[in-house]
Structure 1
Amino acid sequence: MSLNSAIFYLFLSLFPLALATASSSSSSRLITQGTTITKPNCQSKCGNLTVPYPFGIGINTGCSVSSWFDVNCNTSFSPPKPFISTGNLEILDILDDKVLIKNWVAASCYDQFGNITRRNQAFINLVSTPFAFSDINKFTVLGCDEFALIAGSEGRNFTSGCVSLCSSREDLIEGDCSGIGCCQTAIPKGLKKFNSSLGSLNNHVNITSFDPCGYAFLGDPDHYRFSAHDLIDVSFQNWTIDNVPVVLDWAIGAENCSEAQKYNDFTCLQNSYCIDSDTGLGGYRCSCSKGYEGNPYLTPGCTGSFNCSCKKGYFGDGTKDGRGCIAENSQFPVAKFSLGISFGFLAFIIAATVVYFSIQKTKSHETKRKILPAEWWVAVEAATFLK
């Protein structure tokens, strides 16, 4: 093998190792990260939840953009709990384009003779509100003798169903929701109201020992992983209500950006831009322009400059299209990448040098053989052997 070939293959073996030390990360900016979160003299927290404008705490207090963005902070709980306006939908989190609410779960339970011992339905109505069910949610049905329908008549005319069957606990597959003890189906964007109807094919006769109840709920599938234990867990309904949120899309008004900006109450302020809602129901949201931060709905709008900076614990140029911001304790920060490249290059130089001198030594040895008589080399090798 020639020296050039040896170096080429050595480089190919080391180069992927150097690249493996590089990585990148990104994070989204929330409207709760600005220095101004609420309108003047308005409360910013209800219990553990930060409530940013265009939402506002209090009913008809003027702290929100409209009455449906009012957050009712119920202080009879400890800590207080936030609810959407005057309704009974508990808010778990408020994001730039989503609201997470507490779940509702339909359930039907049976005794060993097939008699119903408990039944309740799940029904949520978002008609006339600025909210719609996100298509992130999945309709999930749990049980070994279940069929369920989900129907929506507002926003999107929609009907779908799911059937979940099995004859023994051994049939169940952990983490699988393909129809054996658990099934899931998608919903469309823009759904405003749903009602789930849960039924049984054989009233759970012969399976109550490991599956006395069936359940149906709409929720974020990333927060639920099926387990066979769920079928016998008497606390499953309450656990799902508390731990599997329903994700809602939200938007301001019913007009898209091009129409809304014609009116005086257009809410996207300085250094921000308008985003049309993608639910098909109209409405819009606002976001800070590149290089700016804050709450785009509040005076004076988004602030800052194009000289971006990173928050504490991060380094970089802070720009979206540049290096961005990298955590100082990141597994693969730039320093480690540079160190990896340096060590890789050093190893490459050392290995290339070894290969080069090995080849030169071989060439020198062969040259000497050609110059000196063969009898001399036989004598040298014999002397070496005797030593």
Structure 2
Amino acid sequence: MELLCWKRLQKRNHLTVHAHMKKAGSRGFIALAAVVGSLLLLLPPPFAGAAPVPAAAIRPDGPGTGSNCTRSCGDIDIPYPFGVEPGCYHAAWFNLTCDSSYQPPQLFLGDGTVQVLEISVPDGTVRINSSQLMYTVDVGVSTASGPWGGGLPRGGPFFLSESRSSVALVGCGAQVELRGGDDNSLIASCAAVCPLDTDRRIVVEKRSSACTGVGCCQADIVLGYDFYDIQINKLNGSVYALASSVYLVDQGFSYTDEMSGVVYGHFPEALPATLDWVISNAGCGSVYRNDTTVDECRSTDSFCLEAQYNIGSRGRRCSCDDGYQGNPYVQDGCRDIDECRFPDIYPCYGHCENYNGSFSCQCHPGYYGNASVPNGCQDINECLDQEGHSCYGICLNLPGTFQCQCPIGTHGNASRKLGCVAYKNSSAVSGLGIGLGVSGGTSLLLLAFGSPFIIRKIKERKVKKMKEKYFSQNHGLLLQQLLTHKADIGERMIITLEELEKATNNFDKARVVGGGGHGIVFKGILDLHVVAIKKSKIVVQKKSMNS
């Protein structure tokens, strides 16, 4: 790829290409060179005629499955159709280089120019380290240009992802144009400026933010190619003499605090980008299975998938059938997904059962509804349709189930029509005897355990009746009426026993101040008044005229 792996290019002593600058005749600008790293690869034959794996190197159970095939480099997996050793990859385009001179080892496309960060067979992508394209736009310079993609085989299986990629410019007073395709048409463009404060100093963002045009800009790339022309235009009236850096990277490029010094020429050397790839530039045709034109799809549970891109006729790749995952390019590479083991991905709030290529999610017995959503299963009230649930007796609904019993006085099977029959007389008498015996025993037990409680209640009732008798004998009704009138302590004629007990501290002997034959006099306090309270020793009982 052009300008990819800048250090790598210097290490391998490849040529450095100078981007030509256009002169602005009216201003007399002097063209300066913008240094752009570029790799000149010896390209393999066209993609459609790529050399396949030698037949002698293909094992009977499929290519790339030999024990001598390297399947990881550092912490990066190498799935087939990619490989390192001959016979371990599908075609020349998919050969990789694992460079052990790095610690940990690093993986590269082809002969070791474009660094690989990740390979995904299901997504058909390869993440790479996309190096910076640096341009110095000095005073008097109008434009600078250079290529991107020299590290990729022209017409090969790799091209910039149309759904994930963007072009980003970091700098001041410049516009970037990205062109590609047979007609070199404009695909994306953006401009970055750096305002000047009152002291004519450049102001750029120094906090983490998306590139919005101040010190940095970015634009999505919607047409994926393996080669682009990049042109930097100096904005009209710009007085900057600063370096600008261009990246073809994944979308979401952010201008961070660590990059706040980029206007002075301090740029990240490389940033991640995503390439899409196809296994062949031919389509799938009308037959998707058992067709020699799609023999790359070797797994039984796989199919040919024509790549859907904005640029038509990209080619084809293979994919596992729905309900399967793995590598469709190797025999038995697509394995059934046990959806029941991944409820976060395949939600099921009922009973989950896995099948080859699918699964079922149903409510538990006794419930109905949609088990794929929370609280989607509701209890079935079987008692609303007793016959439908074979209940011909008394039905009781319970969560997830129900009970069906014969009515009182009958016995049998309530789940059958006419299954409940009445008890015969002998049975009834016998049942009555058993019932009486049980109830009698229960009564005896209750009497034994409840006797202390009963005795206490009898005593309390006796005391209550005695109080009621004395209340009546001592004109209690009159006393109750007098008690209802509120008055000062000096005017009150009736005072309750509770008040007297409280005033004398429950007739405390320490409060005794005197006594006589009829009672004892206590010192008390009522309503903040000191009073003398006499407690009678006897109760006078008078007989009525009719006694």
2:96 matched residue in structure 1: 71
Letter in 1 for 2:72: K
The one-letter code sitting in structure 1 at the alignment partner of 2:178 is I
Equivalent-residue separation in structure 2 for 1:320 and 1:225 (angstroms):
41
Check the 8 A contact 2:118/2:128 in 1, yes or no. yes
The corresponding residue for 1:291 is 323
Amino acid at match of 1:46: C
**Number of paired residues?**
280
Local SS of the residue matching 1:64: coil
Residue in 1 that maps onto 2:528: none
Which structure 2 residues correspond to residues 203-282 of structure 1 after superposition, within 5 A?
205=239, 212-222=242-252, 224-227=253-256, 230-233=259-262, 236-239=266-269, 241=270, 244-258=271-285, 261=288, 262-263=291-292, 266-268=295-297, 269-279=299-309, 280-282=312-314
Change (3 A) 1:288 1:99: same
AA matched with 2:96: V
Where 2:322 maps in the other structure, the secondary structure is coil
Equivalent residue letter for 1:150: L
Which residue, 52, 68, 72 being the options, matches 2:79?
Answer: 52
> CA contact under 8 A between 1:156 and 1:188: conserved in structure 2?
no
Q: Is 1:134–2:161 an aligned residue pair?
A: yes
* CA displacement at 1:83 relative to structure 2: 1.2
Matched, 1:150 2:163: no
Change (3 A) 1:120 1:227: farther
Q: Cα RMSD (Å) of the superposition?
A: 4.0
Whether the 8 Å CA contact 1:104–1:122 is kept in 2: the answer is no
Q: Which amino acid aligns with 1:286?
A: C
Select the structure that is richer in strand. 2
Alignment match of 2:70 (pick from 3, 18, 43):
43
Q: In 1, Cα distance between the equivalents of 2:91 and 2:317?
A: 14
Change (3 A) 1:87 1:158: farther
Using the size of structure 1 for normalisation, the TM-score is 0.61
Specify the code of the residue in structure 1 equivalent to 2:250. Answer: D
Cα separation, 2, equivalents of 1:85 and 1:259: 33
Q: Residues 181 and 322 from structure 1, CA distance in 2 versus in 1: closer, same or farther, beyond 3 angstroms?
A: farther
TM-score between both structures, scaled by the size of structure 2: 0.44
The match for 1:181 among 198, 215, 226 is 215
1:287, 1:228 → 2: CA distance?
A: 42
Task: Map Cα deviations across residues 133-162 of structure 1 (whole Å, 9 max, x no partner).
Answer: 112211111222112221213598544432
Q: How far is the alpha carbon of 1:307 from its aligned partner?
A: 6.1
Q: In the aligned structure 2, how far is the partner of 1:156 from the partner of 1:225?
A: 28
For residues 273-298 of structure 1, give each alpha carbon's deviation from its aligned partner in whole angstroms, at most 9, with x where no partner exists: 22111232332222222333332110
Q: Can you list the C-alpha shifts for 1:160-218, whole angstroms capped at 9, x where unaligned? A: 4322113235464852433232222222333221132234347974x57xxx4211111
Write the deviation string for residues 284-337 of structure 1: whole angstroms up to 9, x where unpaired.
Answer: 222222333332110134234x765527999964787766xxxxxxxxxx9xx7
Equivalent position of 1:310 in the other structure: 341
Report what 2:111 is aligned to: 86
Question: What SS is found at the alignment partner of 1:56?
Answer: coil
Q: What does residue 497 of structure 2 align with?
A: none
Deviation at 1:65, TM superposition (A): 1.2
C-alpha distance in 2, partners of 1:79/1:267? Answer: 32
Q: Are 2:168 and 2:246, in contact at CA under 8 Å, matched by a contact in 1?
A: yes
Task: Give the C-alpha shift of residue 104 in structure 1.
Answer: 2.1
Cα offset, 1:219, TM superposition: 0.6
Alignment partners' CA distance in 1, 2:224 and 2:313 = 6
Q: What's the secondary structure of 1:68's corresponding residue?
A: helix
Distance 2:245 2:99 in 1: 29
The 2-side partners of 1:260 and 1:67 are apart by: 26
Aligned-partner Cα distance in 1 for 2:168–2:117: 20
2:198 is equivalent to residue 167 of structure 1: no
Once residues 90 and 307 of structure 1 are traced to their aligned partners in structure 2, the CA distance between those partners, rounded to angstroms, is: 35
Cα drift, residue 45 of structure 1 = 0.4
Structure 2 stretches lacking a partner, 5+ long? 1-61, 197-201, 362-370, 379-483, 486-547
Q: Relative to structure 1, is the Cα distance of residues 141 and 252 closer, same or farther in structure 2, using a 3 angstrom cutoff?
A: same
Say if 1:281 and 1:88 are closer, same or farther in 2 by CA, change over 3 A: farther
Q: Distance in 2 between matches of 1:37 and 1:79?
A: 28
Q: By how many angstroms is 1:110 displaced?
A: 6.6
Map of 2:527 onto structure 1: none
Residues in 2 aligned to 1:307 and 1:188: alpha-carbon distance in whole angstroms: 36
SS in 1 for 2:93: helix
Residues 288 and 90 of structure 1, relative CA distance in 2, 3 Å threshold: same
Identity of aligned pairs, percent?
A: 24
Structure 1: gaps of 5 or more residues: 1-35, 324-333, 342-381
Give, in whole Å, the separation in 2 of the partners of 1:115 and 1:232: 23
SS at match of 1:94: strand
Structure 1 228/120 Cα, relative in aligned 2: closer, same or farther at 3 Å?
Answer: farther
Q: What is the alpha-carbon distance in structure 1 between the residues aligned to residue 63 and residue 87 of structure 2?
A: 15
Partner SS, residue 90 of structure 1: strand
One-letter amino acid of the counterpart of residue 128, structure 2: I
User: Higher helix share goes to which structure?
Assistant: 1
DSSP 3-state at the match of 2:326: coil
2: CA distance between counterparts of 1:284 and 1:197? Answer: 32
Structure 1 pair 248/307, CA: closer, same or farther in 2 (3 Å)?
closer
